Amino acid sequence: MDAATQGLEIREAGEADRAAVLNIERRAFAQPEEAELVADLLADPTAEPRLSLLALFDGEPVGHILFTAAELEGAGRRVKAAILAPLAVLPKAQGKGCGGALIREGLKRLQAEGVELVFVLGHADYYPRHGFVPALPHGLEAPHPIPPEHHDAWMVQALKEDVLGMLRGTVRPAKTLARPELWREDEEPA
Ligand SMILES: CC(C)(COP(=O)(O)OP(=O)(O)OC[C@H]1O[C@@H](n2cnc3c(N)ncnc32)[C@H](O)[C@@H]1OP(=O)(O)O)[C@@H](O)C(=O)NCCC(=O)NCCS
């Protein structure tokens, strides 16, 4: 643990953390949509298995990340995949390594569960710092077409060797994330 992440604890978010989680989402994005998305995903049986992690700085909840189940249609076999959406850190706690720590911890746990591919639609300058690469050049399509100017925002990370480039198909997310409006130009679920 380096100086920036001292005092940082990451643990699974439970039912008792619901208010803290939704508060983080609302305040990080400064709008209600992502908190509503999280509430919907937490109630969506097609999003299971889910991984919902809370970051606490000196005991105070400051960050949240959610991964939900996805499938890869057309891959020729069942592929265990997940979508990262959303990731949020309270403005006052940003820039201290919290977002990165949530991503790393999430990927570690998903890998232990046998998840092969993790997808995200998000900031193309942020997620590559944590191992994500553009998904379309690998033949991995988003649930709805991404406008060409945002192609780089659709990213993937392989948690197993030899799957990138071998598996191709279209990602089928939980029902909540399949809503076309979430995949339009000005709306990014992560
Ligand atoms: C994006 C977010 C989760 C990052 O959390 P964080 O705890 O500040 O992240 P970290 O401390 O691990 O990393 C901070 C670094 O990421 C960079 N960064 C933050 N947001 C970025 C973005 N949108 N694009 C590119 N880089 C970004 C910071 O400039 C900082 O860079 P530095 O290390 O060179 O100083 C947080 O800023 C946030 O909640 N933003 C609002 C919600 C949001 O946009 N979430 C979705 C991200 S797709």
pLDDT at 171: 98
**Residue positions counted in the chain:** 190
Mutate to test the pocket of ligand 1, among 123, 127, 129, 152 (most ligand atoms within 8 A of CB): 123
Q: Is it the case that residue 9 has pLDDT exceeding 70?
A: yes
Could you tell me the maximum CA-CA distance found in the chain, to the nearest angstrom? 47
- Domains of the chain by start residue, with CATH: 3-187 (3.40.630.30)
pLDDT digits (tens, 9 = 90+) for 54-74: 999 999 999 999 999 999 999
| Joined tokens for residue 73 | 């249609």
Q: What is the dihedral of CA 87, 91, 96, 102, to 10 degrees?
A: -20
Ligand 1 centroid from CA 127, angstroms: 9
Q: What pTM does this model have? A: 0.95
pLDDT digits (tens, 9 = 90+) for 118-166: 999 999 999 999 999 999 999 999 999 999 999 999 999 999 999 999 9
Which class for 149: exposed (0-12), middle (13-18), buried (19 or more C-beta within 10 A)? Answer: exposed
